[in-house]
């Protein structure tokens, strides 16, 4: 062995899985123990990314808002404390972990008081970040209790972001070099337990990546560490052909390509944060989605190449769509009209999902989760559009996306889908732009029935 090799005590682990556990997976002590077993049973699991225990982020969101009466603040702080202590009371030696929890609770109180005195988005992110700090501190100890060398790691050291509090963008280059320098060497003999959802800006202020962002954090860490696998452990046995609450015929999908899964995540399958697959695709890291309650029941493997590429893979449903139709006789043989419309939308940060056009009118849909488009598509935006054209806005619609392969190049797709639902009012059919989907709108009240009927036709022949 050369002198040089002798000095090199950093041996890069060759097989790294980043495992992410969602809020229900770390909701209580029993749930955490199940996750600890999953880690213990596969030594490739070197990095664990946790969400806040179920319910905690919602409490923190309320705590971060302006005008929370002081008695409600106290109540929320005590609810959060109860959730943590309900877990730590199961430790045989709980003094050490409880003192960490006490320190965190005290610090949370400081930020909460500051927020009550002067509400800022910056402070809001400090508050929101506590959920993951509690759960990661506790989970590291749970790992130790089952004989795994679990170590807490503050992800803010590596997950550097801009200062867009509440919706921060990660600096991928900084993350990659920080992760290689600070995180990778630890993986030889430790299992690192760290936080999803949070990061820090260039001035080391805490930031958050947006609700549900822990999946995305895990994928970013997997990419930065050039991991071999990413496992997302949740409370369902993988990705289903459709929402099992709509039809009991829905079943778990064994394997699915990145392209199809990305469409599903975008079009409403709530199981993964929509951005999760982007880093995985960039680095070609297979993603497994399974249930931490039933780790032996299989799950869904998402990767670039899959064995079968069926025309129909799944049906996604997204409710509460807003349909905006803009109409202008000026559009007849004119150029530049669409550019003007989109300039207005871009200025107000409205992101368009579906588009259909005719010679003089354009129909657009916007996603409408609580507090998004509803808030953004203000009277001011509509009035600005009205300077350009006639505008009509409709609510109460659902978007259905049939997802699969070569949908735009397969004969008979139209009749397979629409013949079965021709007694419903189907609008805004979008077919052709994507190889992987065909989308349309239906009235909200018909959505479940349409999905159920299509699922029966396309999946249970």
Would you tell me which residues interact with Mg ion (CB under 5 A)?
22, 212
Residue closer to ligand ASP, measured from CB, 197 or 459: 197
Residues 160-199 interacting with ligand ASP (rule: CB under 6 A): 196-197
CA distance 194 to 51: 9
CB of 19 to ligand ASP, least distance (A): 14
CB of 128 to ligand ASP, least distance (A): 8
HEC profile of the chain:
CCHHHHHCCCCCCCCCEEEEECCCCCCCHHHHHHHHHHHHHCCCEEEEEECCCCCHHHHHHHHHCCCCCHHHHHHHHHHHHHHHHHHHCCCCCCHHHHHHHHHHHHHHHHHHHHHHHCCCHHHHHHHHCHHHHHHHHHHHHHHHHCCCCEEECCHHHCCEECCCCCCCCECHHHHHHHHHHHHHHHHHCCEEEEECCEEECCCCCEEECCCCCHHHHHHHHHHHCCCCEEEEEECCCCCECCCCCCCCCCCECCEEEHHHHHHHHHCCCCCCCCCCHHHHHHHCCCEEEEECCCHHHCEEEEECCCCCCCCCCEEEEEEEEEEEEEECHHHCCCCCHHHHHHHHHHHCCCCEEEEEECCCEEEEEECCCCCCHHHHCCHHHHHHHHCCCEEEEEEEEEEEEEECCCHHHCCCHHHHHHHHHCCCCCEEEEECCCCCEEEEEEEHHHHHHHHHHHHHHHHCC
Is there binding between residue 274 and ligand ASP (CB under 6 A)?
no
Binding partner of 150, given Mg ion, ligand ASP, none, CB within 5-8 angstroms per partner class: none
- The β-bridge partners of 366 are 322, 352
Residue closer to Mg ion, measured from CB, 51 or 365: 51
**Stretch of 11-19, 173-181, 207-215, 425-433 lying at the interface with ligand ASP (CB under 6 A):** 207-215
Q: Among 24, 57, 291, 292, indicate the residue that binds ligand ASP (CB under 6 A).
A: 57
Residue closer to ligand ASP, measured from CB, 214 or 314: 214
Residue closer to ligand ASP, measured from CB, 148 or 275: 275
CB of 279 to ligand ASP, least distance (A): 15
Tell me the per-residue interface mask from 119 to 138 with ligand ASP, x by CB under 6 A, - otherwise: ------------x-------
Q: What is the pairing mode between strands 299-303 and 191-195?
A: unpaired
CB of 93 to ligand ASP, least distance (A): 28
Residues 18-47 interacting with ligand ASP (rule: CB under 6 A): 23
Residue closer to ligand ASP, measured from CB, 190 or 211: 211
Residue closer to Mg ion, measured from CB, 217 or 322: 217
Residue closer to ligand ASP, measured from CB, 49 or 302: 49
Binding partner of 45, given ligand ASP, Mg ion, none, CB within 5-8 angstroms per partner class: none
Binding partner of 199, given ligand ASP, Mg ion, none, CB within 5-8 angstroms per partner class: none
CB of 272 to ligand ASP, least distance (A): 10
CA distance 352 to 147: 50
Tell me the per-residue interface mask from 393 to 432 with ligand ASP, x by CB under 6 A, - otherwise: ----------------------------------------
CB of 273 to ligand ASP, least distance (A): 7
Residues 210-249 interacting with ligand ASP (rule: CB under 6 A): 211-214
CB of 56 to Mg ion, least distance (A): 13
Residue closer to Mg ion, measured from CB, 131 or 212: 212
Q: Which residues in this chain contact ligand ASP in the complex, by CB under 6 A?
A: 23, 51-52, 57, 131, 196-197, 211-214
């Amino acid at each position: 062995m050369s002198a040089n090799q002798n000095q090199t005590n950093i041996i890069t682990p060759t097989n790294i899985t980043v495992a992410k556990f969602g809020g229900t997976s770390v909701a209580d002590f029993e749930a955490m123990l199940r996750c600890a077993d999953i880690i213990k049973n596969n030594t490739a699991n070197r990095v664990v990314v946790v969400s806040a225990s179920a319910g905690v982020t919602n409490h923190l969101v309320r705590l971060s808002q302006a005008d929370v009466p002081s008695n409600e603040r106290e109540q929320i702080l005590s609810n959060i404390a109860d959730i943590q202590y309900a877990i730590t009371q199961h430790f045989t030696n709980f003094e050490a972990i409880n003192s960490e929890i006490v320190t965190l609770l005290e610090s949370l109180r400081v930020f909460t008081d500051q927020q009550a005195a002067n509400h800022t988005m910056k402070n809001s992110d400090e508050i929101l970040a506590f959920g993951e700090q509690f759960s990661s501190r506790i989970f590291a100890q749970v790992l130790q209790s089952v004989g795994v060398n679990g170590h807490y790691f503050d992800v803010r050291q590596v997950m550097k972001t801009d200062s867009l509090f509440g919706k921060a963008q990660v600096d991928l280059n900084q993350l990659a070099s920080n992760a290689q320098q600070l995180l990778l060497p630890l993986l030889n003999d430790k299992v690192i337990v760290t936080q999803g959802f949070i990061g820090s800006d260039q001035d080391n202020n805490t930031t958050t990546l947006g609700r549900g962002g822990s999946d995305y954090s895990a994928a970013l860490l997997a990419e930065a560490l050039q991991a071999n696998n990413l496992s997302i452990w949740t409370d369902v046995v993988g990705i289903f052909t459709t929402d099992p609450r709509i039809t009991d015929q829905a079943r778990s999908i064994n394997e699915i390509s990145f392209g199809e899964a990305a469409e599903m995540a975008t079009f409403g399958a709530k199981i993964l944060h929509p951005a999760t697959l982007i880093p995985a695709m960039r680095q070609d890291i297979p993603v497994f989605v399974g249930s931490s309650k039933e780790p032996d029941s299989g799950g869904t493997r998402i990767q670039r190449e899959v064995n079968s590429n069926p025309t129909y893979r799944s049906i996604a449903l997204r409710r509460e769509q807003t349909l905006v139709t803009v109409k202008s006789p000026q559009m007849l043989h004119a150029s530049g009209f669409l550019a003007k419309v989109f300039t207005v939308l871009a200025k107000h940060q409205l992101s368009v999902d579906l588009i259909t056009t005719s010679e003089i009118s354009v129909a657009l849909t916007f996603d409408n989760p609580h507090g998004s488009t509803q808030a953004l598509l203000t009277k001011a935006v509509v009035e600005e559009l009205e300077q350009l054209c006639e505008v009509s806005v409709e609510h109460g619609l659902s978007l259905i996306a049939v997802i699969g392969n070569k949908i735009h190049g397969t004969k008979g797709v139209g009749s397979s889908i629409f013949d079965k639902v021709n007694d419903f009012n189907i609008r805004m059919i979008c077919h052709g732009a994507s190889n992987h989907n065909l989308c349309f709108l239906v009235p909200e009240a018909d959505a479940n029935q349409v999905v159920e009927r299509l699922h029966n036709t396309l999946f249970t022949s």
